Structure 1
Amino acid sequence: MLDKVIVGSEEWCAFPELGIPTIKARVDSGAKTSALHAINIVPFEKEGKNWVKFDVNPIQNNTRTIIHCEAILVDKRTVKSSSGYREQRYVIQSEMQVGDSRWQIELTLTNRDSMGFRMLLGREAMSGRVIVDPEERFLLGEPTTEKLKEYYQKNQEEKKGLRIGLLASNPELYSNKRIMEAGEILGHEMHFLNLKYCYMKLDADTPQIHYRGGRILDDFDAIIPRIRPSMTFYGCAITRHFEALKVYSLNSSAAITQSRDKLYSLQLLLNHGIDIPTTGFANSPLDTNDLIKMVGGSPLIIKLLEGTQGKGVVLAETKKAAESVINAFKSLNANILVQEFIKEANGKDIRCFVIDGKVVAAIQREALPGEFRANIHLGGTATIIKATPDEKKIAIKAAKAMNLKVAGVDIIRSSKGPLLLEVNSSPGLEGIEGATGKDIAGDMIRAIEKNLKISK
């Protein structure tokens, strides 16, 4: 009993291994695990082991003071918060100092902007070592304002380069990790902004975007929207609000919105003289026979307008099969496109990656044996390819027609020449960087520099 440390309901502690000289913690014996406020969390490998890097704002309501941390990854587990919200969190282990005592504890990493404390000390970390007097606070001392300034003045980050927000949903995606990494390498301050944590204040005088916990996002120079299809409506609304605040968006909300409307985007492309596979659209099942006939009969492709990345795509090999599928979708009030099947493409398409009006890389994608592609990429292998001048011209023209600074333009080779399949406003980087070895993420950051006229 006498060997145990007596603490109050709030205490200041330190994490020497993480470079955190002091941080205020809420001592909570009702919580099982301990939690540390962390943002920009990115897993990586070092010397054959799994690590995680993250940033800590150790002082509540102060985002200028940033400590960059790295630690070996111990685990990843689901944690249930006091409000009942379940979240997947990374778990690290680090030495904690409380008063004169030090010991190793496990910490889960999570954004605690909405909480009153940057650190929560749970009972697992206290077991056998701590006695809590809930009526007291700071029994082991409290740093003065001057001492806090001394601790953290060197960590007050001066503005370096641009402050860029990556507006997305999953920080673990290869593409998102690479963009964050590329921005940091080029000297910019990168922040991962989870779309689900953003919310808006619509006001004629003081429009605002808030982040979980009430932080106002009013200090960004640029954002990179990478909006998953299921978040298109909300993601574009947030992007539009950033634009209203005069924050540069690499792809505009209007361009993303129209690129996600398959029918409208095809009409736009046709209006700009870009060839596509013959496509039909109708509202009534009574027009099914003529719809099939107008695209050249079977086999043909049936695509749900709301489908994404190959989902909701059906190859109908016979007229009867086509009628059945079309009528089934129509009975569900689902909007569909009917498109001619390009047999000579033989399960291959060309992905041209366009950045700021230039094709920076191109790959050929081929389905795995037995995999159905239906004029659209569903996976398989990717190999580097030299796009023809006509294919590059179509890709650049398509991105311009859609008003996209960054686009993945999918083209299929046919007996009629290259035909455009689709324009993707949030193209993935893994396949194209892996096949070509090019720094596509860096090219995206450099496009922001160019458009904001930043000299390096």
Structure 2
Amino acid sequence: MTNKIIVGSEEWCSLPGLGIKAVKARVDSGAATSSIHAINITTFKRNGSTWVSYEVHPIQGSRKVTLLCESKLIDRRVIKSSNGETERRYVIREQLQLGDQSWDVDLTLTNRASMGFRMLLGREAMGQRILVDPSVNYNFGDYTEDEINLLYGNKNMPSTGLKIGLLASNPNLYSNRRIMEAGLQRGHEMFFYNIQQCYMKLDASEPEVHYRDGRILNDLDAVIPRIRPSMTFYGCALTRHFESLGVMALNNSEAITQSRDKLFSLQLLQKNNLDIPTSGFANSPADTTDLIDMVGGAPLIVKLLEGTQGKGVVLAETRKAAESVINAFKSLKANLLVQEFIKEAQGKDLRCFVIDGKIVASIERTAAPGEFRANIHQGGTASLVQITPEEKKLAIKAAKTMGLQVAGVDIIRSSKGPLLLEINSSPGLEGIETATGIDVAGAMIDSIEKKLGWKRPLPVDTSF
């Protein structure tokens, strides 16, 4: 026992073979396997063996430091996470250094961005070497933020790239933070602009966009509109004004406008022969009975046209309930859709993230217990999924029909085949990046670079 090292519940360690000089690990003897945060994981062949390439962000809560790593693949395992979900992960073997001791450990690769630590040290890696004292932390020393920055060097890229404005409402949302980070990582100047604090000058000779303190924003190369539903009219007007100035918009105002109109978007999809759930729309309460019949009767879905993120969506399980809900909404002069209920979907749907006509990531969303609709904002869960060629084709064509460069396309699997539920012009990134480990925000920035013909400058050799 005297030969064992005593560690706390949190420790700084390193993985020299990967260039990870310091990473904060959670020491958890209750977990069997160890894991390291990794995204953009791909496999390749080297000398007849399978290897994995992946990116690691070793600093918790930051993507300023990105390390491109390669390891030989030793296994694939099904791992059950702390929330009870299972995931099939790649397993690598690397040297772990803790204090002045080092040994080889097996690590699974997974996206730990939403977890408290970039690394988890489980009991299999501890072996006969470690005793855990949960009452202490950092038995082998702690690092300050300045020391970590010095350890990894200055990773801030020079601002020699594009000037990109993110038009949104809340800079602290995961999606907005990730887009800002992804642009900065690629050397661009990123600016967050609150839509409500932008205003426009309409003039034939000198049109302008101003920001709250009078700053003129005409010199932006591109804007990324992330417009909340309540700001659709003004946000689209602002985006349209930028477009008139020659500023590229990642999703133009016309595409956003028509995607936000649920009825119009369904009519567009129908016009282009894309399969949707049978839906009904009427203005008068006198038409309620026929409206229910045309979608196959109860149970059915009632949707407010202005609803978002699952709000304003009601399951009416009986005909009487359907009549009551429809008539109640109509008495409030609310516009609504009645839609057939796809029972066989069992509370699941697919979210396909489409960028420039290609699917960059897909997940299956499962409704929370007691809910009928899959919605991460209301306690639902997301997991990796393999979509079919038919589903892939449907998602890509749906985004193209809406004219969206970036779209979250929601599909439900039915006995009739895949059906389009909705196309979102400002899809969230947290659920899909966490579940897939794919840098979706980076793919959005890549799209802007491609559209504007911008190429990342080669590093300058200063060794002579």
Query: Which TM class, normalised by the smaller chain length?
Result: 0.5 to 0.7
* Partner residue in 2 for 1:342: 342
Aligned residues: 308
Deviations 1:21-40 (A, max 9, x none): xxxxxxxxxxxxxxxxxxxx
Q: Residue deviations 1:367-413, cap 9 Å, x none?
A: 12112318998541100111111111010000000000000000000
SS at match of 2:409: strand
Cα shift readout 1:8-66 (whole Å, capped 9, x = no counterpart): xxxxxxxxxxxxxxxxxxxxxxxxxxxxxxxxxxxxx9977x99x9xxxxxxxxxxxxx
- Where in structure 2 are the equivalents of 1:63-102 lying within 5 Å? none
- In structure 2, how many angstroms separate the alpha carbons of the residues matched to 1:300 and 1:319? 9
CA distance in 2, matches of 1:374, 1:267: 24
Q: Is the 8 A contact 2:304 2:334 kept in 1?
A: yes
For 1:362 and 1:452, locate their aligned partners in 2 and report how far apart those are by CA, in whole Å.
27
Which residue number corresponds to residue 111 of structure 2? none
Cα separation, 2, equivalents of 1:384 and 1:241: 39
Quote the Cα distance in structure 2 between the aligned partners of 1:379 and 1:449.
35
Cα distance change of structure 1 residues 374 and 443 upon mapping to structure 2, 3 Å threshold: closer
Is the Cα contact below 8 Å between 1:164 and 1:221 reproduced in 2? yes
Check the 8 A contact 1:315/1:374 in 2, yes or no. Answer: no
Structure 2 distance, partners of 1:431, 1:387, is 17
Could you list the per-position Cα deviations for residues 252-278 of structure 1 after superposition, in whole angstroms to 9, with x for gaps in the alignment? 001001110000000001111110000
What are the equivalent positions in structure 2 for 1:365-404 lying under 5 Å apart?
Answer: 365-373=365-373, 378-404=378-404
CA distance, structure 1, for counterparts of residue 421 and residue 392 of structure 2: 14
Question: What is aligned with 1:431?
Answer: 431
**Alpha-carbon contact 1:375-1:421 (below 8 Å) kept:** no
Determine helix, strand or coil for the equivalent of 1:181. Answer: helix
Deviations 1:113-133 (A, max 9, x none): xxxxxxxxxxxxxxxxxxxxx
Q: Percent identity?
A: 74
Displacement, 1:217? 0.6
C-alpha distance in 1, partners of 2:402/2:185? 30
Cα deviation code 1:159-190 (max 9, x no counterpart): 61111001111000000000000001111111
Q: Which runs of 5+ in 1 are unaligned?
A: 1-44, 54-156
Distance 2:378 2:300 in 1: 17
Deviations 1:204-239 (A, max 9, x none): 111111001111111100000000111111111110
The structure number with the bigger radius of gyration is 1
Once the two structures are superposed, the pairs formed by residues 224-373 of structure 1 within 5 Å of their partners are 224-373=224-373
Q: 1:182 to 1:375 in 2, by over 3 A?
A: closer
Report SS of the residue matched to 1:238: helix
Query: Over residues 68-126 of structure 1, what are the superposed CA-to-partner deviations in whole Å (9 max), with x where a residue is unaligned?
Result: xxxxxxxxxxxxxxxxxxxxxxxxxxxxxxxxxxxxxxxxxxxxxxxxxxxxxxxxxxx
Give the secondary-structure state (helix, strand or coil) at the position aligned to 1:386.
coil
Query: In the alignment, is residue 160 of structure 1 matched against residue 186 of structure 2?
Result: no
Q: Is the 8 Å Cα contact of residues 349 and 375 (structure 1) preserved in structure 2? A: no
Q: Distance in 1 between matches of 2:409 and 2:59?
A: 37
Q: Which residue of 2 aligns with 1:409?
A: 409
AA aligned opposite 2:322 = A
Contact 2:368 2:378 in 1 (8 A): no
Whether the 8 Å contact between 2:365 and 2:375 is mirrored in structure 1 is no
Equivalent residue for 2:213? 213
Return the alpha-carbon distance in structure 2 between the equivalents of residues 159 and 309 of structure 1.
36
Deviation of 1:455 (Å): 2.1
Label 1:284 to 1:377 Cα distance change in 2 as closer, same or farther (>3 A): farther
Residues 47 and 253 of structure 1: is their aligned pair in 2 closer, same or farther, counting only changes over 3 Å? closer
C-alpha distance in 1 between matches for 2:299 and 2:182 = 44
What SS does the aligned partner of 1:289 have?
A: helix
CA distance in 2, matches of 1:445, 1:213: 27
SS at 1:172 equivalent:
coil
Question: Displacement, 1:453?
Answer: 1.2
Instruction: Provide the rounded CA distance (Å) in 2 between the counterparts of 1:379 and 1:455.
Output: 41
Q: Could you tell me how far 1:437 is from its partner in structure 2?
A: 0.2
Residue in 2 that maps onto 1:93: none
Large movers: runs of 4+ above 6 Å: 45-48, 374-377
Instruction: Measure, in 1, the Cα distance between the counterparts of 2:277 and 2:374.
Output: 12
- Stretches of structure 2 lacking an aligned partner (at least 5 in a row): 1-56, 65-156, 457-464
Are the aligned partners of 2:239 and 2:253 in contact in 1 as well (CA < 8 Å)? yes
What code does the residue aligned with 1:271 have?
A: K
Pairing 1:35-184 to 2, within 5 Å after superposition: 160-184=160-184
1:295 is matched by which residue type in structure 2?
V
Give yes or no for contact 1:365–1:377 (8 Å, CA) kept in 2.
no
Aligned amino acid, residue 236 of structure 1: C
Residues 247 and 188 of structure 1: CA distance in aligned 2, closer, same or farther (over 3 Å) = same
Determine helix, strand or coil for the equivalent of 1:234: helix
Distance 1:341 1:441 in 2: 33
Relative to the length of structure 2, the TM-score reads 0.64
Q: Which amino acid aligns with 1:161?
A: G
User: What code does the residue aligned with 1:300 have?
Assistant: L
Whether the 8 Å CA contact 2:363–2:385 is kept in 1: the answer is yes
Which secondary structure does the structure 2 equivalent of 1:220 belong to?
Answer: coil
